[in-house]
Amino acid sequence: MEAVVGIVLPVFGLVALGYGASWTGWFSEQANDGLTRYVFNFAIPVLLFRTLATTTLPGVLPLGFLAAYYLGLLTVFVAGMIVARVFFAQELGGQTISGTAAGYGNTVLLGIPIVLTAFGESGAVPLFLIIAIHSPLMFPIITILLELAKQREANLWRLPWLVLKGLMTNPIFVGLLVGLGFNLLSLPIWAPVDRMAELLSTSVAPCALFAVGASLFRYRIFGNFAHCLALTALKTLVFPAIVWFLAFVVFRVDPLWGAAAVVLAAQPAGVNAFLFANRYGVGEGRASSTVLISTMFSVLTLSVILHLLTVA
């Protein structure tokens, strides 16, 4: 348990520090926007590029590992939609936002530092394999459902272009793509550039965690509290439980890879749920509340999950 405390306390301590800095007014909203932009547009893409460019990739695509994670994700996504429809009378747009909050986790800002802290460099490849597929798989699904929910205003013929544009202008996806290209072509990274990339990469964990905490100060508890609790349970409890079962019982993947997948599945709801809600004008309060509640709840759930995985 002491090892788990050594992982969780520093991580969420930095999150709490960021929250406190915003709460006291010592760190303004504009400052946090700049820090978040730096993390998303520079530090994380460079980390992903450098890691993928220099890591030995598996010779065979680990289909069981990917299936364990993404079957779990799609299951809780659909479950979130069903909960929204059956128990809270939500239309398709609201159902989609609920599914996104239940399945689309904070795999970048929280997932990267937690997995790398818990498993070291050995966890880098499974971590980045999941991140590489995350947005290309989920963005089209979420966008199509939300466009369908708009009915007459929907421009479905533009969806392929909108999705492609969104991916190719996403610095994180570009960093993954370029790093993979360097790896497959066996291209070396020029030493001075590699050193710059290394320096940028070291800033990811502290800056990302501080930015998460500072961002959480913006969110408040709005809307149906019971609905948000249901989505939080799906995200932080049901999702990792499904992934654990699929990874260790059904597909029997490598223990370290399985553990990395479970920890990623246990991350709280990501800000993308709120961004989609805000863009389409549906379920903003529910999305922001779920991000806040699930992040607070994940301090406990991630501690327990990391402890169980360590003991196992």
Please report, for residues 31, 173, 201, 254, 269, the alpha-carbon distance to residue 46 in angstroms, rounded to integers and kept in the order given: 21, 11, 7, 27, 24
In a domain, residue 217? The reply is no
C-alpha 207: how far from chain center: 16
The CA distance from 243 to 261, in Å, is 7
pLDDT tens track for 200-227: 888 877 887 788 778 777 766 666 788 9
Residue with tokens 């709801």: 269
In a domain, residue 34? The reply is no
Distant-in-sequence, close-in-space partners of 305: CB < 8 Å, separation ≥ 6:
240, 262, 263, 266
Determine the pLDDT at residue 138: 82
Q: Work out the widest C-alpha separation in the chain, in whole angstroms.
A: 58
Distant-in-sequence, close-in-space partners of 94: CB < 8 Å, separation ≥ 6:
84, 88, 282, 283, 286
DSSP label of 91: -
In a domain, residue 105? The reply is yes
Structural domains of the chain, count:
1
Per the DSSP assignment, residues forming a β-bridge with 269 are 105
The CA distance from 247 to 240, in Å, is 10
Determine the pLDDT at residue 162: 67
Determine the pLDDT at residue 236: 96
| Helix or strand (DSSP H, E) at 187 | none
In a domain, residue 255? The reply is yes
In a domain, residue 142? The reply is yes
Assess contact for 93 and 149: CB atoms under 8 A.
Answer: yes
pLDDT tens track for 86-134: 999 898 889 999 999 999 888 877 888 889 888 888 888 898 889 878 8
In a domain, residue 21? The reply is no
Determine the pLDDT at residue 243: 97
- Which of 181, 140, 193, 188 shows the shortest CA–CA distance to 162? 140
In a domain, residue 3? The reply is no
Amino acid residing at 17: L
Range of the domain at 74: 48-112+121-200+222-304
In a domain, residue 92? The reply is yes
Residues of the chain with pLDDT under 50: 153
Determine the pLDDT at residue 157: 67
